[in-house]
């Protein structure tokens, strides 16, 4: 058996407090995956989780082991089970422009504009 974490907080390195991250002794019992994958400054999406989990499940089964999905958020589990809609990639320039506009006008003004 090999554990695949389905917890959105456990992927982040150095976020050990308040996340119930398995300790070294617990991790020594069997391999654990998708823990300490990225820094807190990096983004890790449900889409990336899904791709990583599918890849890991195949690798684990190929080794003759059983993948055990454990803990975490239903968003990640549902993304794995049901897939995700194809959406365009995030546009950093648009994000910056919206942040700048919100800094000047305030988020409530932008929300009101969306509500129209």
**pLDDT at position 58, please?**
98
Q: In what order do the strands lie in the sheet with 2-5?
A: 32-33, 2-5, 67-70
Q: Does residue 44 surpass a pLDDT of 80?
A: yes
Cα–Cα distance between 87 and 79 in angstroms, integer? 14
Q: What's the CATH class of domain 2-85? A: alpha beta
Contact between 59 and 33 under an 8 Å Cβ cutoff? The reply is no
- What is the mean predicted confidence (pLDDT) over 17-45? 93
Cα–Cα distance between 83 and 69 in angstroms, integer? 16
Distances (CA, A) of 74 to 1, 6, 70, 71: 22, 8, 11, 9
The phi, psi pair for 18, rounded to 5°, reads: 80, 10
Share of the chain above pLDDT 90, in %: 82
**pLDDT at position 88, please?**
84
Q: What is the pLDDT of residues 63-78, one digit of tens each?
A: 999 999 998 879 999 9
Segments making up each domain of the chain, as ranges: 2-85, 87-116
């Amino acid at each position: 058996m090999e554990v695949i974490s389905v917890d959105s907080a456990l992927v982040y390195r150095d976020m050990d407090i308040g996340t119930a991250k398995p300790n070294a002794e617990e991790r020594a019992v069997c391999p654990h995956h998708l823990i300490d994958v990225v820094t807190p400054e990096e983004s890790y999406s449900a889409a990336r989780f899904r791709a990583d989990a599918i890849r890991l499940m195949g690798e684990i089964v190929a080794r003759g082991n059983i993948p055990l999905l454990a803990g975490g958020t239903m968003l990640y589990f549902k993304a794995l089970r049901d897939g995700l809609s194809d959406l365009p990639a995030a546009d950093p320039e648009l994000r910056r422009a919206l942040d700048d506009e919100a800094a000047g006008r305030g988020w409530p003004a932008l929300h009101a504009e969306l509500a129209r």
